[in-house]
Structure 1
Amino acid sequence: MAIDGVFIHYLVQELNNSLQGGKINKINQPTPLEVILNIRSNHQNWQFLLSSDLNFPCCFLSAQKRTNPEMPFSFCMNLRKYLERGIIEKIWQVDNDRIVVIDIRSFNELGDECLYHLFLEIMGRNSNLILTTSNLTIIDSIRKLSPGLQELRTIIPKAPYRYPGKQGSINPFGKDLTDVQKTEVLNQLEGISPLLKNAINFQGSVDRLIYQETKPVLIKTEKKPAFYVFDLPHLEGERKYYSTISSLLEDVKSTFFKETNPLSNLLSKVVRRELAHQKTKLANLKDDLTEAEKKLETKNSAMLLQANLYRIKPGDEEIVAEDFYHNGEPVTIKLNPQLSPSQNLNQFFAKIKKSENALEHLTREIAKTENEIIYLESLLDQIKQANDSDLQEIKAELLNEQLLSGPKIKVKQPKSYLTYQVDGATIWVGKNNLQNNFLTHTLAQKSDYWFHVQKAPSAHVILRAPELTEKLIRICAHLSALHSSFAQSSSVPVDYTLVKNVKKVPGQKGSFVTYTNQKTIFIDPDWDTLKKLLGLGSQS
């Protein structure tokens, strides 16, 4: 699932169309290997993500909000120093190699106008993000390579920037060779991945494939998913098309290359262990319930015994009576010969009372355990989608519920819930139980609207708007569905109602509620569609 030179050729065109001439307003570094440039261009706000993550290096326009660390990384501080308030002159590609270059014109400390280059090298485990001056002197990089670690390149401040070695020497977009000649020297073409090479061999033409109109696609083949900027005719499988290359990359990254977090792994392990325990407990409770129900069947025998008590003599071991519950058929009831007739009857009713008490207790425990399982499964969904701040809040919840060993934590007001501003309305999205409870039961007003996926754990989405429009309903429904276990499904039912109709379930863990007077909208959750509805710049 590699991004090759031809892929980047068209990605750069898309990025230039949106970002060229834009102003960099803010720079963030949410993770050690990812940077986000917040850019104002073409009357819109854009989040330009540049990732040198070793598993999936890439760059694209992102619609998802990421939480930033309290203390910025040193690389982020240098980018802010040199690039904030700068103008993007152009984004270009080095030949047909996997190197994206952003030219940014800004001002130095003395107020002099300067040109800076930001190089994103999409080279698998050697990927890097490097800031240089106009004469290619390195200012800083997200990953350093000291002298001696690599023979050909040194990547440290003040060292000269050198391009990495190329695997091919002929640019397939060059005009020097005919299509037939390109096909003959296919192995020497620059930026052609094995995936694209197979497609070229299948089609028998280089130009016919690489010069076609872009149609970003994700193909779910039998072996593993594949994606590209246009369709690949040699692959069979279910296809999902995207309107932009950025939306394709964002979907691929969030679906197949989600970063693992040590705290996320720990919390998931704790919750899964407790979930397995509760499921075993539920199975045992249901077995006990079956036994209690069987014992309760003796109630008919007790009633028959009571009706025929006058016929029983001391020392009788059994009595045959007409079963008026089953059309008068004869039934044999075993007795204890050492007990009197009335003592036998009392023993029957004592067992019945015990079974009834057990049945009542087991029914309560089964309902309680089933609720606990639903709660734990919702926690697993929240952990999967959580960022660092969300995970800290989930950890506090587990400590307070004594699912995690350690002292209880005083829960503060959650801060990492999402906020969107669009068309004069404010939208809040909770991503865990603490956030959901705060938004729905503290922040929200009775006249606000509440959105939630029907009969499934999802984000609580609160809408405060002067008027409820179809566009706002669709935005909130997308947000609710995308922050649920149904994010990859279609026709997801999302309920919405006024906050005054939403009530918390008393004594129930998590953020479970009941609600009335709801309406339902069916939505196909899709980040690309949400991005269009939000206008890309509505997230804060």
Structure 2
Amino acid sequence: MSLDSISLEAIRKELLDKFKDEKITNIIQTKKYKIIMEVKPNNFLVLNGINKKRDTFYIHISIDPSSMEIYFSESKNTEETISSPFLNLLQNHLIGGKILDIKQPDFDRILHFIIQPYLKFGQTQNQILIIEFMGKHGNMILLKENTMIEGSIKLVDSNINRYREILPGKFYISPPSQNKLNPLNVNRKDFFNIFYSLKDKSLNLWKLIQNNFIGISLQNAKEMVLQANLSLEKDVSNASQADLEMLWTSFNRIINNIKNHIFQPTIFLDPLSEKIKAYSLINSIQFPPCHKRNFKDANSCLESLFTELEKEREILSIQNKLDQILSKNMLKINNKINDYQKKLEEVKNCEKYKINGELIKANLASIKRGDTEIKVINYYSPRQEDITIPLNHKLTALENARLYFKKYKKTKDSWEIILEQLNNNQLKLAQLAEFHKLYKQYSNSLPNLLKIYNDLMKLGLSKKIIVPLKKQEKKKNKLLPAKYISQDGWEIYVGKNNHQNDFLTFKLASGNDIWLHPKNIQGAHVIIKNRGNKQSPPLETLIQAANLAAYFSKAKKENKVLVDYTLKKYVKKPKNAKPGMAIYSQEKSLLIKINLPEIKNMISQNSQGKILSP
């Protein structure tokens, strides 16, 4: 979702209205191509005759091709900061300065911040901070008023671009002209001349608009065609004069709204995933009318857009890391298990070596040095059959017996070691499978993904430690139990792993809450919250909670499940027990036939059936 010229014009006007003559108090850098300017007004806001300090704002600017953004926010930065030569340059020249003007030359994807520096030693030239939102060619450039470059976030020498070097000491040259018209200056005659002079009549109407006017994105070009009641498939060759008149009317109306700063900021959401599908600052009819969010101004829209997209990117990044860690380690452990199982097959006949040794000892008189084998009766076999035992011809009979006893001991020791390693790796695999289940369960929850990731780090499964981009997420970095509301209005909490169970039973629950758990089966701890210490929950609530306990257990596929319940005060945690371990008394039991449709309906219909803070 790139920034087009319409978005830049809208945010330019709002930035200028908000920050003209205001003071830049700090500049930080949070990513390779992102800076944040702190702007604090010099004057005070007078309320009821009292001077009050006005709020500090933060202007976010990024030219990263994957996340170009510009908006302002009252929220203080929570991202990790970095340093760079360009940041040092901005801090030295712009901190303390005033924003005099913000311009958008020729309606292009470029903004010029005109800044009057803090006057330390008398009059100095104004500084111009140029932001070029040009995809992979984007840049941030600091100029003197005479257009001499002082520095840039990307240095471009003649090896990269002979026409346009971006280096300190060089004079700034604007990006090459696209030979397009500025739509803000186009009249009816100019508009129709484009169609009349066109040689390639096979172009779609929206493509023609996009190709001939600066700053009109594909989405907005299509919008102009649709608002003219024309098909997106219509090309120039079959467009009538009436069609062109309607297209001019649509084009002119939208451009006039931009000139007059009349916008309708909207974010459109995917109806299934509720993720952002598109945004528009002009009235849009190309997206379904439902699943959208309207905003009072362009900045509110862009702030919401960019912060949510950043969160989606962060979630995707962690998902990819978790996929890589889990698949790599599960494959590695599976291979180890297969190897240990093969080795067990190889050493499982260790008793054979002991029998060979015993039979040689029983036949010492029949063996001479130099013999390579001996045929004897196997007294240890029920069939008493003859067997042939290989011998080392260089050894005596007794030495051969000792050699077999030594092999027996070594093989037996190997068996025990291999069996221990096999069991350990099977436990590790089960643990990773549990993490994989959690990962899939909470795949769209940033705090929970971070918790899973960092728990994997503690197990030594990766050397890289992820640092949450948002510091405030650290406080939320727990896997919280799910919360449901019964049909009688009682709160039901469900823990879906050992850590949640531990937190739910021994931190969240109170003594008179009802605690439920499948009898003698691994599964969820369930709590019916008894707010107000009522006598007992209704039977239907108890059955619903027992259904959830049975469903979130190893017995979920069974026809019937026995679920114990008791007051939480009768549930204890054994000393040094693992998370989720509990012993209980004074219990009663319910035999539950799992009502799958009701459970799924409860989960999907209950608006609180999500990971929520209690």
TM bucket (normalised to shorter chain) is 0.5 to 0.7
Partner of 1:207, secondary structure, is helix
Preserved contact between residue 219 and residue 239 of structure 1 (Cα < 8 Å): yes
2:100 aligns with 89
CA distance in 2, matches of 1:160, 1:265: 45
1:226 aligns with 2:263: no
Report which stretch shifted further, 141-150 or 372-381.
372-381
CA distance in 2, matches of 1:454, 1:77: 51
Preserved contact between residue 329 and residue 461 of structure 2 (Cα < 8 Å): no
1:400 aligns with 2:491: no
1:133 aligns with 144
Q: Which has the higher contact order (CA 8 A, sep 6+)?
A: 1
1:202-213 counterparts in 2 under 5 A?
202=226, 203=228, 204=247, 205-212=250-257, 213=262
Pairwise CA distance, 1:189? 2.6
Partner of 1:44, secondary structure, is coil
Pairwise CA distance, 1:74? 1.6
Deviations 1:258-296 (A, max 9, x none): 55799857742355438979xx9xxxxxxxxxxxxxxxx
CA distance in 1, matches of 2:439, 2:220: 44
CA distance in 2, matches of 1:17, 1:385: 40
Deviations 1:469-524 (A, max 9, x none): xxxxxxxxxxxxxxxxxxxxxxxxxx9x9xxxxxxx98449xxxxxxxxxxxx89x
Pairwise CA distance, 1:127? 0.8
CA distance in 2, matches of 1:95, 1:383: 41
Preserved contact between residue 270 and residue 404 of structure 1 (Cα < 8 Å): no
1:167 aligns with 2:178: yes
Pairwise CA distance, 1:429? 6.2
Cα–Cα, structure 1 residues 369 and 132, in superposed 2: closer, same or farther, change >3 Å? closer
Partner of 1:89, secondary structure, is strand
The amino acid of 1:134's aligned partner reads E
Pairwise CA distance, 1:29? 0.4
The amino acid of 1:11's aligned partner reads I
Deviations 1:391-430 (A, max 9, x none): 7x98764332334369xx9x9xx998746xxxxxxxx962
Give the one of 264, 285, 289 matched to 1:215. Answer: 264
Pairwise CA distance, 1:97? 0.8
CA distance in 1, matches of 2:256, 2:184: 9
Preserved contact between residue 214 and residue 229 of structure 1 (Cα < 8 Å): yes
Preserved contact between residue 22 and residue 98 of structure 2 (Cα < 8 Å): yes
Deviations 1:54-99 (A, max 9, x none): 1232311144734233x51221111111111111112121121110
Pairwise CA distance, 1:142? 0.9
Give the one of 243, 247, 269 matched to 2:323. Answer: 269
1:177 aligns with 187
1:22 aligns with 22
CA distance in 1, matches of 2:138, 2:102: 18
1:75 aligns with 2:86: yes
Cα–Cα, structure 1 residues 104 and 261, in superposed 2: closer, same or farther, change >3 Å? farther
The amino acid of 2:255's aligned partner reads I
Pairwise CA distance, 1:52? 0.8
1:266-415 counterparts in 2 under 5 A?
267-270=321-324, 272-273=326-327, 372=435, 376=439, 397-404=455-462
Gaps of 5+ in 2: 46-53, 195-208, 229-246, 335-427, 481-492, 498-528, 532-572, 581-606, 609-614
2:534 aligns with none
CA distance in 2, matches of 1:65, 1:272: 32
Partner of 2:183, secondary structure, is coil
The amino acid of 1:99's aligned partner reads I
CA distance in 2, matches of 1:196, 1:252: 18
Pairwise CA distance, 1:169? 4.0
Preserved contact between residue 221 and residue 236 of structure 1 (Cα < 8 Å): no
Deviations 1:413-452 (A, max 9, x none): x998746xxxxxxxx9625359x9xxxxxxxxxxxxxxxx
Preserved contact between residue 108 and residue 114 of structure 1 (Cα < 8 Å): no
1:107 aligns with 2:152: no
Preserved contact between residue 168 and residue 191 of structure 1 (Cα < 8 Å): no
Preserved contact between residue 103 and residue 115 of structure 1 (Cα < 8 Å): yes
- TM superposition score normalised by structure 2: 0.47
CA distance in 2, matches of 1:385, 1:245: 32
- Radius of gyration: which is bigger? 2
2:487 aligns with none
Give the CA RMSD over aligned residues. Answer: 4.7
CA distance in 2, matches of 1:208, 1:415: 45
Report which stretch shifted further, 80-89 or 367-376.
367-376
Give the one of 196, 203, 220 matched to 2:220. Answer: 196
Preserved contact between residue 36 and residue 61 of structure 2 (Cα < 8 Å): yes
Give the one of 459, 475, 483 matched to 1:430. Answer: 475
* Percent identical: 19
